[in-house]
Amino acid sequence: MEPTWEPKILAFLCNWCSYAGADLAGTSRIQYSPNIRVIRVPCSGRINPLFILKALQNGIDGVLVSGCHPGDCHYLTGNYIGRRKSATLKRFLEYLGLEEGRVQFSWVSAAEGGKFSQVVDEVTRDIRKLGPPKHFAKQKRGQGFQDSRVVGFKGPS
Amino acid sequence: MVEKKLREKAKELLSKKEVDLIIGFGEGTQPLRATPVFIRNPEEADRLVWNSFCENNLATYLHKFSRFKVGIVVKGCDARSVTALALEKRFKPEQVVLIGVPCQRMIDRKKVKKAVKGEIHKVREEGEKIIVAGEDGDVVLKREDFLYPLCKACTHRNPVQETLRVGDPVGEAPLTEPNPEAKAFEKKPPEERWAFFEKETGRCIRCYACREACPMCYCTECFVDSSNPRWIEKSLSSADLEFYHIVRAYHQTGRCTNCGACERACPMDIRLTYLTQKLNQEVEELFQFETGVDPNALPPLSTFKTDDPQEFVK
């Protein structure tokens, strides 16, 4: 039997709000899509855009970045700095031709377990619609290294 | 004219010991080229030239002389790079004497080579004409048809910051609208855009000439050279090339002055400026920032406003 495709989504959650929000969703027994894999980071401003790119390159289907609401940052300004990075990176990736919605951003506070589950469900739905990555991914899941687009030498145009 | 004044100024600065060194352009070893020269004695000042092939961004060399007082010959774009670098505290602003030259816009040497048959022996400029001595005698070309597309869209031809000026200021009106490549590219469908990006970066031989030519790429350890974490693997996959080009461009967010040094340095003729143009456009739209214009404005990614746009956040 052909296994049905389910998206695998990487979530970068900030330690102080979104991770606690996810925790609340769990302790409150709120059901949400099991497609996310969480990496806890100190702050949404800590996220290097290279993390997101590397994840996509290694074959993840979608990335969610979540942090404290503006004004609530544990480090006072981290999420504001992160917001600027996210805004430019998202626009830039879409400009290059990467599908809209592969990389998503949200604010989830420690009290918003319900919102967290909603966000995860929404993101999963969006990425399920997009399907497996068409561009940029180096390996297909479960197949190890299998890149059909190995570079051949082409001269200058 | 400009050349003569430039030499006089350089001599004056060096003989009065106002600077230790002058970075400028010298005659290239081939026609259609000018090469960076580093002048330490007043007698050598006659090596300086000024023509339409002074295309390098000389701000690239400034970090290498951070212990000296340096005079540097700057066009509009170079001057903005120097300001951006001073803002990032690469050197103290008072260490640098900016010899501003209003830019007549540079000529695309590759385009000239294509227009002329055979080997080019000599090139000279007369007003709006370029006279190229090739195998079949002189060919006269119209200057305007051979300008770099970036230079056509340039809005800062007169150096914004300068210590002293050589030559008369020029009219700033660009020949095309700003960021023309980005504006044309974003209208295409996403599939086509990615296909273009993949095709262009697929030619990359990872010589990193684009990085070396760029004044803003000065990290002691670039992310491509880092072995822990290893961001870029030494595989044959085109995804590694795409990764490099995305990050190289993205690292220029709010720092690029659109001088086009990266694209001109590329031996494989990969289109690169459409990437950085988009980032410049974004920074202008989102944060109302233009690189190197205001010497006191912080780089956009190291600061914030509480009401920055966030309609993309859930």
Domain match, B153 and B235 both: yes
Domain match, B81 and B225 both: yes
Q: What is the pLDDT of residue B97?
A: 94
- Whether the Cβ atoms of residue A94 and residue A133 lie closer than 8 Å to each other: no
Q: Residue with structure tokens 């060399």?
A: B61
CA distances from B286 to A64, B16, B253, B295, B313 (A): 22, 46, 12, 20, 14
Q: Which of A142, A140, A108 is nearest to A122 (CA)?
A: A108
Which residue in A has a C-alpha nearest to residue B303's C-alpha?
Answer: A81
- Choice among A80-84, A135-139, B129-133, B251-255 with the minimum mean pLDDT: A135-139
**HEC string of B25-62?**
EEECCCCCCEEEEEECCHHHHHHECCCCCCCCCHHHHH
Contact call for B202 and A81, based on CB within 8 A: no
CA dihedral A42, A45, A47, A53 (to 10 degrees): 160
Domain end point (choices B127, B146, B165): B146
Q: What is the pLDDT of residue B170?
A: 86
Tell me how far apart the alpha carbons of residues A67 and A84 are, in angstroms, rounded to a whole number.
Answer: 13
CA distances from A79 to A67, A73, A135, B140 (A): 7, 6, 29, 58
Domain match, B83 and B139 both: no
Q: What is the pLDDT of residue A2?
A: 60
DSSP state of A151: P
Q: What is the pLDDT of residue B81?
A: 95
- Whether the Cβ atoms of residue B201 and residue B241 lie closer than 8 Å to each other: yes
- Choice among B170-174, B262-266, B296-300 with the minimum mean pLDDT: B170-174
Average pLDDT of chain B?
91
Q: Has residue B313 been placed in a domain?
A: no
Is it the case that residue A51 has pLDDT exceeding 70?
yes
Q: Residue B197 is nearest to which of A53, A97, A123, comparing CB atoms? A: A97
CA distances from B179 to B151, B156, B258, B277 (A): 11, 13, 9, 6
Is it the case that residue A154 has pLDDT exceeding 70?
no
Is it the case that residue A152 has pLDDT exceeding 70?
no
pLDDT digits (tens, 9 = 90+) for B222-235: 999 988 888 988 87
Is it the case that residue A28 has pLDDT exceeding 80?
yes
User: Smallest CA–CA separation between A136 and chain B, in Å?
Assistant: 5
Q: What is the pLDDT of residue B67?
A: 87
pLDDT digits (tens, 9 = 90+) for B116-166: 888 888 898 888 889 999 888 888 999 889 999 999 989 899 998 888 888
Q: Has residue B126 been placed in a domain?
A: yes
Mutate to test the interface with B, among A48, A76, A80, A84 (most CBs of B within 10 A): A84
Work out how many domains chain B is built from and give that number. 2
Domain match, B167 and B259 both: yes
Q: Give how far the C-alpha of residue B211 lies from the chain's centroid of Cα atoms, to the nearest Å.
A: 12
Decide which of A151 and A126 is more confident.
Answer: A126
Contact call for A99 and B195, based on CB within 8 A: no
User: Smallest CA–CA separation between A49 and chain B, in Å?
Assistant: 8
Domain match, B191 and B298 both: yes
Residue range of the domain that includes B207: 2-106+147-302
Is it the case that residue B65 has pLDDT exceeding 80?
yes
Is it the case that residue A156 has pLDDT exceeding 70?
no
How is chain A split into domains, by residue range?
Answer: 9-130
User: How would residue A135 be classed by pLDDT, with cut points 50, 70 and 90?
Assistant: confident
Which residue in A has a C-alpha nearest to residue B242's C-alpha?
Answer: A136
- Whether the Cβ atoms of residue B98 and residue B111 lie closer than 8 Å to each other: no
- Choice among A98-107, A128-137, A143-152, B223-232 with the minimum mean pLDDT: A143-152
Contact call for A137 and B193, based on CB within 8 A: no
Domain match, B122 and B139 both: yes
Domain match, B119 and B202 both: no
Domain match, B84 and B182 both: yes
Domain match, B49 and B178 both: yes
Domain match, B156 and B229 both: yes
Helix (H, G, I), strand (E, B) or coil at B131: strand
DSSP run (H or E) holding A53: helix A49-57
DSSP H helical ranges for chain B: 2-15, 76-87, 109-115, 149-152, 180-185, 190-201, 209-213, 238-250, 261-265, 273-287
Q: Has residue B27 been placed in a domain?
A: yes
Q: What is the pLDDT of residue A147?
A: 47
Q: What is the pLDDT of residue B169?
A: 86
Q: What is the pLDDT of residue B189?
A: 95
Q: Has residue B310 been placed in a domain?
A: no
Contact call for B314 and A71, based on CB within 8 A: no
Is it the case that residue A145 has pLDDT exceeding 50?
no
Q: CA Rg, chain A, in Å?
A: 17
Mean pLDDT, rounded, for A8-23: 95
Of all residues in chain B, the percent with pLDDT exceeding 90 is 66
List of chain A residues whose C-beta atoms are within 8 Å of the C-beta of residue B222: none
Token readout for B27 is 């005659």
- Choice among A126-130, A145-149, B101-105 with the minimum mean pLDDT: A145-149
Domain match, B69 and B216 both: yes
Q: State in words which class domain A9-130 has.
A: alpha beta
pLDDT digits (tens, 9 = 90+) for B71-107: 999 999 999 999 999 999 988 888 999 999 999 999 9
Q: Give how far the C-alpha of residue B79 lies from the chain's centroid of Cα atoms, to the nearest Å.
A: 10
Contacts with B198 (C-beta within 8 Å, 6 or more apart), sequence order: A135, A149, B238, B242
User: Smallest CA–CA separation between B141 and chain A, in Å?
Assistant: 24
Q: Residue A95 is nearest to which of B238, B242, B278, comparing CB atoms? A: B278
Q: Has residue B308 been placed in a domain?
A: no
CA dihedral B25, B21, B39, B102 (to 10 degrees): 30
Domain match, B196 and B56 both: yes
Is it the case that residue A157 has pLDDT exceeding 80?
no
Mean pLDDT, rounded, for A104-122: 95
Which residue in A has a C-alpha nearest to residue B266's C-alpha?
Answer: A156
Q: What is the pLDDT of residue A53?
A: 94
**What are the DSSP E strand ranges found in B96-228?**
96-100, 122-126, 129-134, 137-142, 164-165
Token readout for B57 is 């961004």
Q: What is the pLDDT of residue B36?
A: 95
Q: What is the pLDDT of residue B87?
A: 92
